Amino acid sequence: MPLFRRAKIINNFDLIVDCTDKLLSNWSAMPSHHVHCDIVRQCQNLLLEIFGLISFDYNLDALNEYDSNHNELTRALHVFMSSCALVFYSPPIVGTLYTHLNYRHRQAKAIIERHIYQLMDNEMAQTRESRAERKRTCLIASLVASLQEDEEAEAKKSEDKKTGLSRAEVLQEILAFMVAGFETTSTALAWFIHAMSKYPDVQNKIKEELMSVSVNQNLTLNQLDSLVYLDCVINEILRFYPITSGTVRTLTADDRLPESNFQLNKGDSVLIPFYNLAHNTQHWSIDTESFAPERFLDKDKNHHPYALLPFGGGHRQCIGQALARFELKVIIARMLQRVTFGDGGPKINSGGHFTGLTMQPKHVGVTIEFS
């Protein structure tokens, strides 16, 4: 997916800054003593807005959620994502019944389909030259470029003879990108905000690093790249918090585990538990239960490669990881240039997590002070 390589991603620097500024402006309109308890939702809206613009060239207007004219697609996506989580963790029969019978889910899906088909039609209406150009920078254009010319004729062919993607398949791809692409990053951001309210020393160090590269509030790409401590903090967020608990692989042949000689058979599913690996004291020198970004500069710099797998590994590892890291770094740098997150109190900011598609912080209540 060349679209998600760094060379393409960095073109979105200003776009990410602008969207972050929009959220900051929403926050600045609130009274200074206000405790923000809807951080998870706010982060979702920010990442959704960014993702819509980057991938689909489409303004979901997600940051104006509380407007009465708020985009119906954004609302439908929130409903769809919450039912995805339910379906994901339920036995298949329950998931099928739920998606067929639940009126809100069916309505949300219909709205999403209508909008995505509209996006595809808009793309098709572009000139051939413009489509060829856009294909290199825009996900929807790239997917539309793989549409079958004659869907009816393709449908009559056997699976191995078919070429291109049908409209329904492109729709599924787009939905998969949406599901994989925004809630993961927004969950990481929400954990970051919670962490800053709990670890003010870390927050101060990021601010110091920011000040050392840029005294005014403009930040260039080169300056962003030089923020080494911030990279460590992002790694520590991905290690310390259970954003995705793990992944599964299914064996395509019989095999044995190397050390224990444990027999595994073709067809067996193996769970790879990221959170447990990241907290396994065997693999880390510094206490795994301390939030210590410095570990990545120091004793745990050369940790075992499989001890930290927030984006999975191998052929099916996350294709959006460079984008996710870039989004997080730009957003965090921009936020901490302007605000300080404070602890809203032991009860409302007690953390914990609930399991949606990702493991989201449950109780986040932070103050946001502008400097």
Residues that bind ligand HEM (CB under 6 A): 4, 177, 180-181, 184-185, 188, 243-244, 247, 310-313, 316-320, 323-324
| Min dist. Cβ of residue 127 to ligand HEM (A) | 27
CB closer to ligand HEM, 63 vs 344: 63
Least distance in Å: CB of 115 to ligand HEM? 19
Return the H-helix or E-strand segment holding 247: strand 246-250
Using a 10 angstrom Cβ sphere, with 0-12 exposed, 13-18 middle and 19 or more buried, the burial of residue 14 is exposed
State the minimum distance, in angstroms, from the CB of residue 307 to ligand HEM.
Answer: 15
Spatial CB neighbours of 305, under 8 Å, sequence gap ≥ 6:
none
Q: How many CA atoms lie within 13 A of 127 on its CB side?
A: 3
Which CB atom, from 128 or from 315, has the smaller least distance to ligand HEM? 315
What is the smallest separation between the CB atom of 49 and ligand HEM, expressed in angstroms? 14
Nearest distance in Å: CB 273, ligand HEM:
11
Tokens of residue 241, six digits: 């918090």
The DSSP element (H or E) to which 200 belongs, if any, is helix 200-213
Give the shortest CB-183-to-ligand HEM separation in angstroms: 9
- How far is the C-alpha of 95 from the C-alpha of 84, rounded, in Å? 9
Q: How many whole angstroms separate alpha carbon 79 and alpha carbon 100?
A: 15
Return the CA Rg of the chain: 22
Torsion 320-316-180-113 (CA) sign: positive
Query: Is 138 marked within a binding site?
Result: no
Cβ nearer to ligand HEM, comparing 334 with 344: 334
Residue closer to ligand HEM, measured from CB, 177 or 275: 177
| Helix, strand, coil fractions of the chain, as percent rounded to 5 | 60, 10, 30
**β-bridge mates for residue 204, sequence order:** none
- Provide the token pair at 90: 């339920």
The nearest distance, CB 232 to ligand HEM, in angstroms, is 16
Distance CA 198, CA 340 (A): 12
| Helices 228-240, 200-213: crossing angle, 10 deg rounding | 150
The nearer residue to ligand HEM, 56 or 284, going by C-beta atoms, is 56
Q: Which residues of 84-93 are buried (b: 16+ CB within 10 A; e: fewer)?
A: bbbbeeeeee
230 or 367: CB nearest ligand HEM: 230
Given the complex with ligand HEM, which of 244 and 367 has the nearer CB atom?
244
Which CB, 320 or 344, lies closer to ligand HEM?
320
Q: Closest distance between ligand HEM and the C-beta of residue 97, in Å?
A: 26
How far apart CA 289 and CA 240 sit, in angstroms, is 8
SS (H, E, C) 314-332: HHHCCCCHHHHHHHHHHHH
Positions at the binding site = 318
Positions at the binding site for heme = 318
